[in-house]
Amino acid sequence: MAKKHKIIRESSAQLGQNMQRMRVAKGISRKGLAKIIKKSEQQIAKYESGEFVPLPVMEDIAKAMDEQIPKKIIRRISFIRKSETEQGTHFEEELTELYNAAFPEPYDDEEYE
């Protein structure tokens, strides 16, 4: 049986990149993050490459990096994902904005002193 190729959505790819950047900026290895959130290192790699990340897992990843995703953002992501399923449409731009807010670009404090 041939392996199915998953379609990676642009918003999910952005989320994965943001999570990876934040993880690296915080000095956490994939293995370390996997251990904290009780997932495999391979699963972390999949999330970072753009595989769908369930909301509870997004929250767990943020907590593992001493961050918190505001409930307002979680509720909005949930609403949009549900709307996409019900309507069969995609809201890429809005999801990308929300994912960027959930896992913002890390910056170097020294750069801004």
Annotate 35-53 with DSSP letters as a single string.
Answer: HHHT--HHHHHHHHTT---
> What number is the average pLDDT over the span 38-43?
97
Residue 61 has pLDDT above 90, yes or no: yes
> What number is the average pLDDT over the span 63-87?
95
Note whether 18 and 100 are within 8 A (CB).
Answer: yes
How is domain 10-105 classified at the CATH fold level? 434 Repressor (Amino-terminal Domain) (1.10.260)
pLDDT of residue 113: 40
User: How much is the mean pLDDT over the chain?
Assistant: 90
Residue 105's pLDDT band, with cuts at 50, 70 and 90, is confident
Residue 112's pLDDT band, with cuts at 50, 70 and 90, is very low
Among 3-12, 17-26, 70-79, the range scoring the smallest mean pLDDT is: 3-12
Distance CA(64)–CA(56), nearest Å, equals 12
pLDDT of residue 1: 58
User: Hey, what's the torsion of the CAs at 92, 3, 56, 29, to 10 degrees?
Assistant: -100
2: Cβ–Cβ under 8 A, 6 or more apart, which residues? Answer: none
Tokens representing 51 are 């595989």
Domain locations in the chain as residue ranges: 10-105
One-letter amino acid identity for 75? R
